[in-house]
Structure 1
Amino acid sequence: MRQNRFDLRQARCPCCFIVPPEMLRRLATSGDPELAAAAGHTMSLTNGMRAFRAQLSTGAPSPMARRRQGRRRQIFDCKNFTDLPGDLVRSETGSDPSPDVTVNEAFDYSGTTWDFYKTVFGRESIDGNGQTLVSSVHYSQNYDNAFWNGQQMVYGDGDGVVFRRFTISLDVIAHELTHGITQFTAQLPYQDQSGALNESMSDVFGSMIKQWALGQNAAEADWLIGAGLLTPAVNGRALRDMAHPGTAYDDPRLGKDRQPGHMRDFIETELDNGGVHLNSGIPNRAFVLAAKAIGGNSWEKAGRVWYVTLTERLTSSADFPKCAAETISVARDLFPDDPTIAAKIAQAWADVGLESPMAVAAYMPAAGGARASLEAAGLRTAAAASETPAAAKPHHGARKKKAENHRPHAR
């Protein structure tokens, strides 16, 4: 697999940024001097931060780590400099709300993320042992991004023309903090399909946390990542649309959203660590399809399956087929009395081009085989629905379009 050529310390504990580099490159060449300067500055800081993180090691928390109870949050103010973490401006105790809305959003939304994982899954912070959630706001000037750097959250203020402040969206904050959970559990390398799964897991839980906070079920949710982050001047609704990949924005300065929602459109590229922000649209859509088919609140069944898959089943070698197979297996283990849940998850993966007959047969034994299991639940199989058998091959290298068809658009 291509990711083996990379330093795994860097791949497993990268700086994970919410805005993909493709958007920043478009802004840097937009012809608008101010936007180009902001985007160029952001990319320069991004590259420097990634180089710094490559020098650090990471891993799961020590088994001897003491489990601490209760929320632990600290918010620092960089005051438009790049020295981290900055000056402490709000913490868990002895601190009233700040007159700075950015400080309060970072504080409140990190608390919502903590509460979700604790209430829904019994997880104490991102490391499972009560690690303090550290956030720095007002990072640099006109900084068009937010990121998890392996130790803390960092938020820019945006350029005010395309991007607003990056603390404005709960799902953005939850997305980035979930990178920390991936870091302490599956350690998915930030490259190729494993990296796209890393990004997708953050989108999945970021959206679920927003739905949980708003009391929305899967049918009511907008499934947008970064709604409210783009200014009204931008022709776009969000950074990503999990339900309809490739439709989040279409703006002369940002270009058109190119996320695929099916394996036949998988993008082969050397950019963005193998297109981790692009190809994450495929597993994103699979989760939405599964959550909607199962019904109710996304975090109660589909979300529980994805959480156990991330924290207990996936390893650093995981790719899309592995994730698909494990979610089916986990659903069968968690809900043995309701085989339709595993069947609906299998169908969701099939609908994005990842039908895996061997995986379905292994994890859903029933009279008549895997297809009978699906059809008994009132679902069709991808093999029966697909006009092109090749579209259903669950292989890491199942990339349906030639690299030359995509690279000119990615430059």
Structure 2
Amino acid sequence: MLRELSEHGSPIQRERALSALVESGQFRGVRQELADFSTRPSFREPGAAKQRVICHADYQTRLPGRKCRGEGDPPTGDAAVDEAYDGSGATFDLYRDIYERNSIDDRGMVLSSTVHYGSGFDNAFWNGKQMTYGDGDEDLPEEERLFNRFTIAIDIIGHELTHGVVQYEAGLVYRDQPGALNEHFADVFGILVKQRTLNQTASESDWVIGAGLFTENVNAKGIRSMKEPGTAYNDPRLGKDSQPGHMRDIYTGSQDNGGVHINSGIPNRAFYIAALDIGGYAWDKAGWIWYLTLRDKLGTTSDFEDGARETYKVAGDRFGVGSLEQKAVRKGWKEVGIEIIEEAPKPQPPEPPGCGAGAPDFIRSFFIPAP
């Protein structure tokens, strides 16, 4: 999307898209030094309390910036600050109240966010330690704006924080199908944060990631559609949504780290179908199946077939072999072209001594990174 905009947008739009791509490209080479890093937490603390810190970057690119709101502080009146605060709280609550998880690392990690990052920065990212959000085009005249601020959509906040959960659990490498699964899990729990905040059942949700992010100047309903991959946007400046919804259309090129943001449409649709068939609140049964799979069953190089097989097994373990829930999971994967074959999972490479397998090699950004 940013690549298309860098070629087909107005001069200022091209400049900003290129800047975001360069920024993402620089981040890709950054290795995060995470103290006492472990992909599988060795203990869990009951009764976890939220700890949020929101910082203001003052339109610079140095992190974290100056603190402007802490846990329990009243609203500031700055929409980006308060949305980041509320969205990180809603994400924390989903993981704690539903999945019994104590923050991102399951050890009570402080949820740190920086807003107003850079000038005209059209992206949001998780860097292994914190969330960062750009303001989009809110400094431009209204008729020239394409992007609103990136905190405007609560599912984007849930998405970014879930990259942290993936980092501390399966540690899915950010390339090809494992990377697409990484993006998929971020979308799943991002949409569940949104649905829970709105008190929506699976049938009531729009299943759109990033609704509200685009201005009325763009022909788009959001960044991705989990219900109908490939239909989220179609705009002469941004291009057309290229996500496939079936394995027959899977992207096999080298851009986007082998299609991590593109091919995530396939497992996204599988989850949508399973959740719809199960019915009720998707964060309940379907969410539990996907969470336990992420937490306990997948490894760094797991692919779509691994994800399908393990979600199917978890559904049987939790709700019973042959249960409605297990049948719904099988149906979801089958409808996107993945038949579940019950066999032993492929061996995962050993973790290097003293280093978690999920330590990120680069930042996970919301949009397609630079090639």
Give the structure, 1 or 2, with the largest relative contact order (CA under 8 Å, sep 6 or more).
2
Measured in 2, the distance between the counterparts of 1:258 and 1:328 equals 28
Deviation at 1:348, TM superposition (A): 1.1
Q: Paired residue for 2:234?
A: 250
Q: Which amino acid aligns with 1:82?
A: T
Measured in 2, the distance between the counterparts of 1:189 and 1:195 equals 6
Alignment of 1:97-112 (within 5 A): 97-112=75-90
Give the one of 261, 273, 276 matched to 1:277: 261
Q: Paired residue for 1:89?
A: 68
Q: Paired residue for 2:151?
A: 167
Q: Which moved more, 1:336-345 or 1:229-238?
A: 336-345
Give the one of 151, 154, 169 matched to 2:132: 154
Measured in 2, the distance between the counterparts of 1:222 and 1:346 equals 23
Contact 1:136 1:153 in 2 (8 A): yes
Contact 1:68 1:130 in 2 (8 A): no
Give the one of 296, 320, 325 matched to 2:309: 325
Alignment of 1:242-391 (within 5 A): 242-336=226-320, 339-356=323-340, 358-359=341-342
Per-residue Cα deviation, 1:220-267 (whole angstroms, up to 9, x for no partner): 000000000001100000000000000000000000001000000001
Q: Paired residue for 1:241?
A: 225
TM-score (norm 1): 0.79
Q: Paired residue for 1:379?
A: none
Q: Paired residue for 1:42?
A: 20
Q: Secondary structure at the match of 1:90?
A: strand
Give the one of 23, 27, 30 matched to 1:52: 30
Contact 1:309 1:326 in 2 (8 A): yes
Q: Paired residue for 1:232?
A: 216
Q: Paired residue for 2:164?
A: 180
Q: Which amino acid aligns with 1:266?
A: I
Q: Secondary structure at the match of 1:341?
A: helix
Deviation at 1:60, TM superposition (A): 2.1
Q: Which amino acid aligns with 2:155?
A: D
Contact 2:122 2:147 in 1 (8 A): yes
Contact 1:126 1:178 in 2 (8 A): yes
User: Taking structure 1 as reference, are residues 64 and 224 closer, same or farther at Cα in structure 2, changes over 3 Å only?
Assistant: closer
Measured in 2, the distance between the counterparts of 1:55 and 1:177 equals 18
Deviation at 1:289, TM superposition (A): 0.3
Q: Secondary structure at the match of 2:61?
A: coil
Q: Paired residue for 2:205?
A: 221
TM-score (norm 2): 0.88
Q: Paired residue for 2:356?
A: none
Select the structure of larger CA radius of gyration: 1
Deviation at 1:53, TM superposition (A): 2.9
Deviation at 1:67, TM superposition (A): 7.2
Q: Secondary structure at the match of 1:89?
A: strand
Q: Paired residue for 1:28?
A: 6
Measured in 1, the distance between the counterparts of 2:263 and 2:146 equals 24
Measured in 2, the distance between the counterparts of 1:126 and 1:55 equals 17
More helix by share: 1
Q: Which amino acid aligns with 1:247?
A: T
Per-residue Cα deviation, 1:79-128 (whole angstroms, up to 9, x for no partner): 000010000000014x2210211100000110010011111011110111
Per-residue Cα deviation, 1:172-206 (whole angstroms, up to 9, x for no partner): 00000000000000000000000000000010111
Measured in 2, the distance between the counterparts of 1:176 and 1:252 equals 27
Measured in 2, the distance between the counterparts of 1:110 and 1:341 equals 29
Give the one of 58, 75, 92 matched to 1:79: 58
Per-residue Cα deviation, 1:339-373 (whole angstroms, up to 9, x for no partner): 221112111101100012x32x899xxxxxxxxxx
Q: Secondary structure at the match of 2:112?
A: strand
Per-residue Cα deviation, 1:113-151 (whole angstroms, up to 9, x for no partner): 001111101111011111000000000000000000000
Q: Secondary structure at the match of 1:88?
A: strand
Computed over aligned residues only, the root mean square deviation of the Cα atoms, in angstroms, reads 2.0
User: Taking structure 1 as reference, are residues 48 and 68 closer, same or farther at Cα in structure 2, changes over 3 Å only?
Assistant: farther
Measured in 1, the distance between the counterparts of 2:344 and 2:156 equals 37
Measured in 2, the distance between the counterparts of 1:222 and 1:134 equals 29
Contact 1:59 1:187 in 2 (8 A): no
| Percent of aligned pairs with the same amino acid | 48
Q: Secondary structure at the match of 1:76?
A: strand
Measured in 2, the distance between the counterparts of 1:65 and 1:44 equals 39
Q: How many equivalent residue pairs?
A: 340
Q: Paired residue for 1:63?
A: 42
Deviation at 1:338, TM superposition (A): 6.1
Contact 2:111 2:130 in 1 (8 A): yes
Contact 1:72 1:92 in 2 (8 A): yes
